[in-house]
Amino acid sequence: MRLRPVALPNLPWGTPAPVDLYMLQEKELSLLFRSQQALAPESYDDICKQADRLYYDRDAQVNWQFLVDSNLSNILQTPLATEAKAAVAYGSAARKTQEIFQEFNEAGYSNAQDTVLALNKLMDEPDALESFFQLTIHDYYTYTHSVHVYIYSMLLTRTVIGSDNIPFLQDLGVGYLLHDIGKKDISTDILNKKGKLDDNEWTIIKKHPLIGYELLVKISGKISDEVAQIVLQHHEKCDGTGYPKNLTDSEIGRYGKICAIADVYDALTTRRSYKDALSKMAAFTIMQDSKGHFDQQMLARFIRLAVPFAE
C-alpha cells in the first residue's frame, strides 16, 4: 500500500474517519482509526506526543480540507485542546480567505462571516490568547496576513471593549478579516516588489482602501461605520502622514487605529520576498519609535497583550 500523509490539524475531529488511518513510527505502520470510526478528540493530545501526522492509502480520494471546513463549527465544539482547535481554525480560515481573495462575491462574504463567527467563539476559550499568538506563521501571503490582522485586531478589541457584544464583534471581525480586500486585483509584481515602488505603483497601492470599501458595499449592500473605518483607515497615521486621506489622530476611528497597529505588527514580523521577519520585540521597538503613527494608548495595550508570547 502506498501512503499519503495528513497533518493532525487537517483531520475532521469529532466526525467519522473517511478512510483507514495509520500511524508510522520507526518504520512500523499501525492502524489507528478504521474507516467510519469516530476521530475521537480525546485522543488528539496522546497522538500529538507520538506523531504530527497520520497516513492513509494514497489511492483513496479524500478532500480533507473540505471535510474540515464544512465541519469547522462542530469540530470547535469538541473536547479538543484549545491549541489544537486554534491550529484547525487557523488553517481553515487561511484557506477560506485565499478563496475569498481569488473571487470575492456574496458567497465569499458569507464565508468570511462564518469564519469570523467560528474564530470569535474560539477566543472565549482558556489559553486562546497564547494559542493564537503562537500559531501565526512567519511567511507573508495576502490571505494569511488578513487572518493575522483579524486575530491581532480582535484580541486587542476585546481588551478595549470586552467580549459581551457578540453581534458587534462579529461585524468588526469581518472588517478586520477583509481589511485588505481592495488588494485582490493588484499585481503580485507590485505587492512583492523588492525595490522602491515607482510613483504609478505607489498610486495603485494607495487606492486599495477605497477599492476595498467599494467592494464591500457592492457585495454586502451596506456596511457599518465601524467596518468602513477599518477598511478605509487602516493605513492612516495619527500624525497625518498616512493614506488615502492623510487623516490625523482625531479624525481616525478607534477601530481604524486598532487595525493599523495589527497591520504594521504583522508586516514587520512576517518574511517577505524583500525582507526577513523581525522578532516580536524588534517590531515593538520600531512601532514605539514611530511615535506619530499610532495611538499610543492602543499601542501600549497591544504590547502588554503580546509581550508575554514574544520570543
Over residues 177-213, the pLDDT tens digits come to 999 999 999 998 998 888 889 999 999 999 999 999 9
The pTM assigned to this predicted structure is 0.89
Q: Is residue 235 over pLDDT 90?
A: yes
Tell whether the model's pLDDT for residue 311 goes beyond 70: no
Total number of domains constituting the chain: 2
Q: Residues 295, 211: one domain?
A: yes
Q: Residue 55: what are its φ and ψ, rounded to 5°?
A: -130, 155
Shared domain check, 133 and 163:
yes
pLDDT confidence of residue 139? 66
Q: State yes or no: pLDDT of 274 exceeds 80.
A: no
Query: Domain range spanning residue 61?
Result: 3-66
pLDDT digits (tens, 9 = 90+) for 10-45: 899 999 999 999 999 888 899 999 999 999 998 998
Average confidence score pLDDT of the chain:
92
- Distances in whole angstroms, Cα of residue 196 to Cα of each of 167, 200, 201, 237: 41, 11, 9, 21
Average pLDDT over residues 128-147: 82
95 and 235 together in one domain: yes
Specify whether 62 is located in the same domain as 124: no
Widest CA span in the chain: 66
**Cell numbers for 131:** 494559542
Which pLDDT band holds residue 130 (cuts at 50, 70, 90)?
confident
Contact call for residues 158 and 132 (beta carbons, < 8 A): no
Is 74 among the domain residues?
A: no
Say yes or no: 192 and 305 in one domain: yes
> What CATH number does residue 169 fall under?
1.10.3210.10
Half-sphere exposure of residue 166: CA atoms within 13 angstroms, side-chain side: 8
The pLDDT assigned to 308 comes to 85
Do 91 and 236 sit in the same domain of this protein? yes
Spatial distance between the Cα atoms of 242 and 269, rounded to a whole number of angstroms: 20
Q: Residues 280, 203: one domain?
A: yes
Whether 280 is in a domain gets the answer: yes
Provide the pLDDT for residue 129. 84
Dist. CA 102–CA 134, nearest whole Å: 27
Closest by CA to 101, choosing from 183, 175, 184, is: 184
**76, part of any domain:** no
Average pLDDT over residues 247-268: 97
Instruction: List pLDDT tens digits, range 70-121.
Output: 888 888 888 888 988 998 999 999 999 999 999 899 999 999 999 999 999 9
Asked if residue 214 and residue 184 are part of one domain, the reply reads yes
